[in-house]
Structure 1
Amino acid sequence: MIVTSPADFLAALPEQIEARGAWGKPTMSAAMVVSPIGFRISPEAVDNHYMQSSAIDPERAFAQHHGLVRALGACGLPVLVVPGRDGLDDAVFPNNAFATIPDRLIVGSMRHPVRRAEAARDDVRDLFTWTFGHALTDLSHKPGISELTGPLVIDRARGLGLCGLSQRADEFGCASMHAAFGLRLTFRFALQPREYHTNVVLAVLAGRACVLHPGSFVDPEVPAAIARAYEGRTLELDDAEKQAFAANCIAVTERDLMLSATALRALRPASRAALEGWGFHLHAVEVDEFEKAGGSLRCMIAEIF
């Protein structure tokens, strides 16, 4: 079921709260990342207002990428590193193009041509289908734009999707993603025009808490309704925290919360205390070379379930 009003979402909420743990594992079993070969600030992504004009330092980008892989491994996660390719500017942010549920690879429908080429990679598709034996759901040939876990934030414990419409996801794309992930309920809403992906302004943490920036939603009742799903465990970010990618964090295990060093530096003491009080151990990774391209740490991780 897809709902579009806060009232309908709240009406369905009691069943969702009771269903925690009934849909799937709340955090990933492994991670896939793509190396910075070919990484540059994309000239096509003009709808991404988080991009900076600074030039990329390739050596620093590779060192930071290695640090991310090391940090994921230190949390006990196997990490699959796929080489980047020249000409695929934003391939270091694979969660927009590739996603999984158990035994299934989902390929997104991308807005920009350079990212469509990324989603068409045969090596990634073959790895999951031929080597891992996953079925394939390819949204790239369906109507609409559906950049997967960029616009769609998923509570994997409940089968609950939170989908923000923007230039990177439309109504057709939302419906395709809802079906592809087999979600029980999806709440569809509009983001402010300057926001391109929901995961820059909202994160669900292991199905038991959430982080959000209320001002990034067109209807203020939407974040209020989402907060009801995580009563007492919703962290509302201020503008500075949001701009520093604090919402682009990810619970890589049920206790380990990973975020960029930029985000951690921007967190107010009360925000950090709230996250730690909910039982999360915070891990900061320096990825500011990648933040120049308008994405941060969560965007760099494709979850494998």
Structure 2
Amino acid sequence: MPVPAALAVELRARNEAPSRTPMHRHYLMCPPQHFTVEYSINPWMDPNTPVDTELAMAQWQELKRTYERLGHTVEVIDPQPGLPDMVFSANSGTVIDGRVLGARFRAPERAAEAEHFRRWFSMRGYRELVMPSRTNEAEGDFAWTGELLLAGCGFRTDPEAHAEAQEALGVPVVSLRLTDPRFYHLDTALFVLQHGPHPQVAYYPEAFSPGSLKVLQRLFPSAVIGSAADAECLGLNAVSDGKNVVLPMEATDLAEQLSERGYAPLLLDISELRKSGGGPKCCTMELRD
């Protein structure tokens, strides 16, 4: 009996998809115990929209459990009253080869978060710890490929912070300019799928300036390109271990592309956390010791 054409195409795609190997990751997260939307510092935030803190906690716990089921190590920093966005731990530090560059927030509402994370790193023996002099929102705007640090600017992180990151972390930095206020951090428009000498990324082209887009096309000619629908549900705010990719449940177009490339997408509900403009990556700082 002949195989239907559509099924034949699907089977061929599965057979041709490269084999992916997950790598163990070490993450730092913060529970959304005090999560709410009390102010507006990005287009996603509306203080008049009701927030369900218990639901946000449940969504965060499922994200943490997902990492642990995948075999990753998750550490937790204590949340602090009065800091509702502390759940977005990615914004408070960049760690490469055990070196730490802390954060300096643009919005005064988040400024105190940086000191809590600095203390956490200091108490755990991180000796090469630098606190920035320029505005720098950490992994919100810094994405490590294993070879290069992709660095965003345009809304939060100062362009001058890119040079500071290169000095503090000792890695080459490539600057990328964001132009759409909905995608105010680099991690809302780009994420690294595979690290190493031949890294792979996914990104949403319309979030970048023309020159930055040309840089991305040159550096990553085989990148996964996110659609407008993917971007508008914060689908690019995702976390990959080299095989498994955790992303918002609405990012179905992106998930299909990832499956065709041999990745294993894991779709989670982050609807409550998205009310502050956050997703899986915002909640996840990687500790690259």
Give TM class, smaller chain.
0.7 to 0.9
The equivalent residue for 1:244 is 233
Q: Which has the larger radius of gyration?
A: 2
Tell me the amino acid that sits aligned with residue 138 of structure 2.
Answer: L
- Deviation at residue 105 of structure 1 after TM alignment: 2.7
Counterparts of 1:291 and 1:27 in 2: how far apart (Å)? Answer: 27
The equivalent residue for 1:49 is 43
- Deviation at residue 44 of structure 1 after TM alignment: 4.7
Between 32-41 and 50-59, report the one with greater CA deviation: 50-59
Counterparts of 2:246 and 2:137 in 1: how far apart (Å)? Answer: 22
Counterparts of 1:152 and 1:27 in 2: how far apart (Å)? Answer: 20
For the structure 1 residues 133 and 278, does the alpha-carbon distance in structure 2 shift closer, same or farther, using more than 3 Å as the test? same
- Deviation at residue 134 of structure 1 after TM alignment: 3.8
Q: Does 1:29 align with 2:25?
A: yes
Counterparts of 1:192 and 1:163 in 2: how far apart (Å)? Answer: 14
Q: Does 1:62 align with 2:57?
A: yes
The equivalent residue for 1:288 is 271
Residue in structure 2 matching 1:260, options 214, 231, 248: 248
Q: What does the per-residue CA deviation read over 1:189-231, in whole Å, with 9 as the maximum and x for residues that have no partner?
A: 3211513111111112123321111111121x42243133233
Q: Does 1:79 align with 2:74?
A: yes
Counterparts of 1:231 and 1:193 in 2: how far apart (Å)? Answer: 23
Counterparts of 1:206 and 1:182 in 2: how far apart (Å)? Answer: 21
Counterparts of 1:60 and 1:117 in 2: how far apart (Å)? Answer: 25
Residue in structure 1 matching 2:179, options 192, 197, 200: 192
Tell me the amino acid that sits aligned with residue 294 of structure 1.
Answer: G
Between 254-263 and 109-118, report the one with greater CA deviation: 254-263
Q: Does 1:151 align with 2:138?
A: no
- Deviation at residue 133 of structure 1 after TM alignment: 4.1
Between 79-88 and 223-232, report the one with greater CA deviation: 223-232
The equivalent residue for 1:136 is 129
Q: In the TM superposition, what are the counterparts of 1:198-217 in structure 2 within 5 Å?
A: 198-207=186-195, 208-217=199-208
Counterparts of 1:51 and 1:114 in 2: how far apart (Å)? Answer: 13
Counterparts of 1:177 and 1:44 in 2: how far apart (Å)? Answer: 28
Q: What does the per-residue CA deviation read over 1:13-44, in whole Å, with 9 as the maximum and x for residues that have no partner?
A: xxxxxxxxxxxxx9663111101122111415
For the structure 1 residues 93 and 135, does the alpha-carbon distance in structure 2 shift closer, same or farther, using more than 3 Å as the test? same
Gaps of 5+ in 2: 1-21
Counterparts of 1:116 and 1:57 in 2: how far apart (Å)? Answer: 24
Structure of greater relative contact order (alpha carbons < 8 Å, 6+ residues apart):
1
Count of aligned pairs: 262
For the structure 1 residues 179 and 28, does the alpha-carbon distance in structure 2 shift closer, same or farther, using more than 3 Å as the test? farther
8 Å contact kept, 1:37–1:83 = no
For the structure 1 residues 228 and 42, does the alpha-carbon distance in structure 2 shift closer, same or farther, using more than 3 Å as the test? farther
8 Å contact kept, 1:42–1:293 = no
The equivalent residue for 1:218 is 209
Tell me the SS of whatever aligns to 1:79: strand
TM-score (norm 2): 0.84
For the structure 1 residues 96 and 31, does the alpha-carbon distance in structure 2 shift closer, same or farther, using more than 3 Å as the test? same
Tell me the SS of whatever aligns to 2:101: strand
- Deviation at residue 277 of structure 1 after TM alignment: 2.7
Tell me the SS of whatever aligns to 1:240: helix
Counterparts of 1:135 and 1:225 in 2: how far apart (Å)? Answer: 31
TM-score (norm 1): 0.80
Tell me the amino acid that sits aligned with residue 216 of structure 1.
Answer: A
The equivalent residue for 2:257 is 274
